[in-house]
Chains A and B, each alone.
Chain A
Amino acid sequence: MSGRRSRQSGGGSRISDDQIIDLVSKLQQLIPEIRSRRSEKVSASKVLQETCNYIRNLHREVDDLSERLSQLLATIDTDSPEAAIIRSLIM
């Protein structure tokens, strides 16, 4: 293992173990599924698994919402007063 380490150093910025672990813990905090269990040790593979599930869920939501909107907006002209109301409701 130490052999590998010496080969890595030299030239450019070295990515440290701490940086990777820091990123993994940031991901952990971001994912609702495992955020509450922050006090426990959560393995990297668990974090990755939950991250993938989370992204898949978000993709599905985007898809479902696009479906919903295509049905709703089909009847609304973007220049119409309804569209203006919608815009003001969200802003």
Chain B
Amino acid sequence: MPPSSIEKAFLKKWLKGLQALSSSSSSSTSKKEMSIFERKKAIKLSADVAMASLKNGTTSWSRALIQNASKDDNNRTLLKNMLGSQCDEKLSRGPTTTSMMCSMRVRSKRVLRRSCRWRRVRKITKDQRVHAGSMAKRLVKKRTQVLRSLVPGGEYMDEYSLFEETLDYIMSLRAQVDVMRRLANASEFSSKS
């Protein structure tokens, strides 16, 4: 299957990040001496940032990912090369969104609990309804917490936004994995021939 336009755009940005990496140390001998572990971290970071930057700040997860990456001073050069002038603009958008999201959190939490209880109720007897309902509530709450830890910036989102962001995040991750896999397969192929 041919790569989609998103995948192509991602590859371009990712390779740009990788190139900046090797060219920054090309003057010294450290280029070849970069450990495999360091290289792996750089490859992963460039890939994550490349995918996030394609969003142009329209999603919370992508903003959070870039913000988190910028907290490490080691990543500064890479981020600057990949994001350029957009870098500072993206980082400043964080706090406003957070406060907006928090105010919606309580409202949607109640709505979600109610909708989950409604689903469970259909399957069981009246007597058990209370117990199953509260168990389902607890399960959903627990699993939602886990989801928050997996989606960048998830801890600050209300439940509705969390689900929306999750959908988008999964789509992006899939495209990212797709391209990375193709590159790995192609590299293996060319290195063997």
What interface size band does chain A fall in? 35 or more
Which residues does chain A contribute within 8 Å of B120, judged by CB atoms? 43
Q: How far is the CA of A67 from the CA of B8 in the complex (A)?
A: 22
> Is B114 within 8 A of A1, CB to CB?
yes
In contact, B147 and A70 (Cβ under 8 angstroms): no
**Across-interface contacts of B43 in A (CB, < 8 A):** 66, 69-70, 73
- Shortest 3 CB-CB distances between A and B: which pairs? A48-B143, A70-B40, A66-B44
Q: Which of B168-193 contact A (CB under 8 A)?
A: 169-171, 173-174, 176-177, 179-184, 186-191
Known contacts A51-B166, A62-B44, A66-B40, A90 near B186 by CB under 8 Å: yes
Q: Is B15 an interface residue (CB 8 A)?
A: yes
Which stretch of B69-77, B90-98, B103-111 is in the interface?
B103-111
Is the beta-carbon distance between B177 and A62 smaller than 8 angstroms? yes
B190 & A82 in contact (Cβ 8 Å cutoff): yes
A91 touches B3 (CB 8 A): yes
- Residues 14-43 of A, flagged 1 when their CB comes within 8 A of B and 0 if not, give 111101110110110010000000000101
Q: Report A-chain residues with C-beta under 8 Å of the C-beta of B112.
A: 20, 44
> Which residues does chain B contribute within 8 Å of A63, judged by CB atoms?
44
In the assembled complex, how far is the CB of residue A65 from the closest CB belonging to chain B, in whole angstroms? 4
Cross-chain contact A73 with B187 (CB below 8 angstroms): yes
- Any B CB within 8 A of the CB of A49: yes
